[in-house]
Amino acid sequence: MFLSSLFHPAYSSSSIRPLCRIDESSALLQFKESFIVNSTCGGPYDYPKVASWMLEGENNSCCLWDGVDCDDDTGHVIGLNLSSSCLYGSINSSSSLFRLMHLRQLDLSYNFFNYSRIPSTIGNLSMLTYLNLSYSFFQGQIPSEISLLYKLSVLDLSNNFNSYLQLLELKRPTPESLVQNLTNLEKLDLSVVDISSPVPNQLANIASLTALALHDCRLVGQFPIRILQLPNLQFLELWSNFDLKGYLPHLHLSSHLKYLSVGHTGFSGEIPASIGSLNSWERLDLRDCKFSGLIPPSLGNLSKLTILNLSGDHFREQTPSFFSNLSQLIQLSISSYNMSSGSLSWLNQLNKINLLLLPKNNLSEFPPSLANFTQLTALDLSSNDFTSRIPFWVFNLTKLVYLDFSLNKLSGAISSSISQLENLEYLDLFSNNLSGMVELDMLLRLKNLTALCVSLNKLSLLPPKNSNATLQKFMILGLASCNLSEFPNFLQNQDRLGSLDLSFNNIHGQIPQWFWKTSTKNLIFLDLSHNFLTGFSQTLVVLPWSRLFFLDISSNKLQGSLPIPQSLIFFYSISKNELTREISSLICSLNFLEVLDLSENNLSGKIPKCLGNFSNSLTILNLRRNNLHGTIPHTWTSGNKLRMIDVGDNKLRGQVPKSIVNCMLLENLDLGNNQINDSFPFWLATLPELKILILRSNYFHGPIAAPEFSLVFPKLRIFDISCNSITGSLPSN
């Protein structure tokens, strides 16, 4: 140790072990100074580790700092764990972090790196065996330099997203080039990275791979079945890749496989009987795929299975009595299976179940055995055929956290006994025949309730008797068709709402000013449609909710100018109102819109040119029945996703823009009841998906086709050219 201090002046001869090198402690301090450290970050595991980093006091060696690990022999920093460390700021390629050349483990997960890119200089950390950058708000292309880290055994770049947006992409480099050198990988997690390509075959060559997570990656093509046969694979997660196809092979699945999740993919075929020989299996999730045939009885041999999800597939009806052998099950989900209450007798044997989901099974009577399942924390019996009252035994299931009886035909009142479910967090009674008064006071005792949906019943909601009562903070509120005549005052104190539905009520007058301050940072879904709202209590150009994804204010009596949501909006409908004035050019900033419906108002002015090319995601554009004039934009670009363009019943002039031929997915085109003066647009016949073409009541003239052009219209079903000046005969083809 004394010799070491001679060669490395940063070390102290009086230390039991070598101290941190000066250059590396300096690099760590510079890294700390490049961020704002939020000392009040609110997660249960968050704390600002770098707050302990200082050169004064007894912890002056960086090897003693929180999150820092040093090599005992050399003093080099070899590990940096700053997970959940409240870091806020950006990382760039010149960051002092990349001077720590001896790092073997780096964990920066659960921080906020301000949508910066992962620096390419991360490839300089050639000693890394562990890299975790998950949940940290990185964005852009994953740098190809990560493929240089050939010693990596764990790589986690997952869950960098904002609201519903994937922030990280793996397109340049391709997935193949990223993993080609990472032959030592044991765990790879790229979940919620936008890959938009097939799963690379090279993964099937990494024999050391034990865990692979690729959910929500927009994967396409055929899944390489050889990956399922990797000798050490234990964990495979592919759910929510809707265009990914695959099947389960009859033989040679990995004998170590414990967890398989392919829910919400295009996996299909039958479940092979050989699945029953994999006695290591603990979790199996095949929900909402295209599996069919019989559920093999050999599934009952999986004695270690704890989670089984077979919902939403196309299995043939049978009585799965072999489920009674799955004595370790704690979670079971089966739907679309057409079972009767009597065929559920095998449930009695599954006394460990705490989550039971049986939606869409045509059940008409509540299985009596459920009264004994007092350990249940989640019960979903939605979308069945129950017609009775809510059974009283439900109120004895006091451990329930999640209860869903939606989309049934339940009748009667909601009993006050529901307040016995003191652990309840989620209650969904949407779309039943429940009636009577619902007092919010009754729900005050449910201190943990954060999601409540009683929409589309025959209920009347009564506010708290004590106007100063403090309600719990809701995240989901569904109060549609609850006989409300005004905005509920208790919403003034709700700052965590993500979803609010007040549609189909009798709310009259202006939207109150206080409502614009409700959950401005959290609201994602808002439905105020089918009321009698007349306007806004203040002039609003841009709506205040920064994360709003879905907005429906249709079928009211709103007056004034068109309000504009903020940039993340996906669905916006304000049809069937009394709006006037021009469409603001601010609408051009809505780059993620898929549905825009401004129909049946009194909007004037011209159609903004940006609507022709402002969004690659727009599928529906409905401007019908307004007072719009001028010409239709000529800027429709190739690659767009438009399926419907409806500008009928306006005062539009000019010609049909030929750039509409770029709308290759277009199914519905309505230009009727305008003042368009043009020859018949025969070139529309090349649109392969066009089903509806309405040109009536304009000034179209001349023959219906050009002599040099053979009409195709391969899918046309509705064709209206009435009240024009078209001449000649209708071509036979």
**What would the DSSP string read from start to end of 717-733?**
-EEE--SSEEES-----
Contact by Cβ (8 Å): 129, 162:
no
Domains of the chain: 580-733 (3.80.10.10)
Could you give the CA distance from residue 416 to residue 435 in angstroms, rounded to a whole number?
Answer: 13
Res 3 pLDDT > 70: no
Question: For all residues of the chain together, what is the average pLDDT?
Answer: 89
| 620 within 8 A of 641, measured Cβ to Cβ | no
- Asked if pLDDT for residue 17 goes beyond 60, the answer is no
Q: Is 715 a residue whose pLDDT tops 70?
A: yes
Residue 648: pLDDT band with limits 50, 70, 90 = very high
pTM above 0.85, yes or no: no
pLDDT value of residue 450: 95
More confident residue, 428 or 536: 428
Note the pLDDT of residue 711: 66
pLDDT of 341 > 60? The answer is no
Of residues 315 and 284, the one with the higher pLDDT is 284
Q: Is the dihedral of CA 497, 500, 506, 507 positive or negative?
A: positive
The region of weakest confidence among 77-86, 172-181, 544-553 is 172-181
pLDDT of 13 strictly over 50: no
Tell me what pLDDT residue 7 has.
Answer: 28
Mean pLDDT over residues 207-230, rounded?
95
Query: What is each CA distance from 562 to 124, 171, 585, 629, in whole angstroms?
Result: 52, 38, 11, 17
Q: Write down the pLDDT at residue 733.
A: 64
The percentage of the chain sitting over the pLDDT mark of 90, rounded to a whole number, equals: 67
For the chain, give the percent of residues with pLDDT over 70: 92
* 482, 459 Cβ separation under 8 angstroms: yes
- pLDDT tens string 577-611: 999 999 998 898 888 899 999 999 999 999 998 87
Work out the pLDDT band at 469, boundaries 50, 70, 90. low
Q: How confident is the model over 484-496, as a mean pLDDT?
A: 91
Residue 652, pLDDT > 90, answer yes
What separation in angstroms does the CA of 438 have from each of 117, 413, 610?
Answer: 50, 8, 47
Question: Residue 11 above 50 pLDDT?
Answer: no
Would you report the helix, strand and coil content of the chain in percent, each value rounded to 5? 15, 25, 60
SS3 state at 301: helix
* Cα–Cα distance for residue pair 100/114, rounded to 1 Å: 23
Q: What is the mean pLDDT of residues 653-668?
A: 94
3-state DSSP assignment of residue 578: strand
The model's confidence at residue 456, banded by pLDDT at 50, 70 and 90, is very high
pLDDT band at 404 (very low <50, low <70, confident <90, very high): very high
Specify the pLDDT at position 18: 58
Does residue 2 surpass a pLDDT of 60?
Answer: no
Dump pLDDT digits (tens) for 536-571: 866 667 899 999 999 999 999 999 999 999 988 999
Stretch among 84-93, 490-499, 701-710 having the lowest mean pLDDT: 701-710
Task: Specify the pLDDT at position 369.
Answer: 85
Residues 687, 719 contacting (CB under 8 angstroms): no
pLDDT at 14 over 50: no
Strand partners, 77: 70
Task: Decide if pLDDT at 10 tops 50.
Answer: no
Beta-carbon count within 10 A of 578 CB: 14
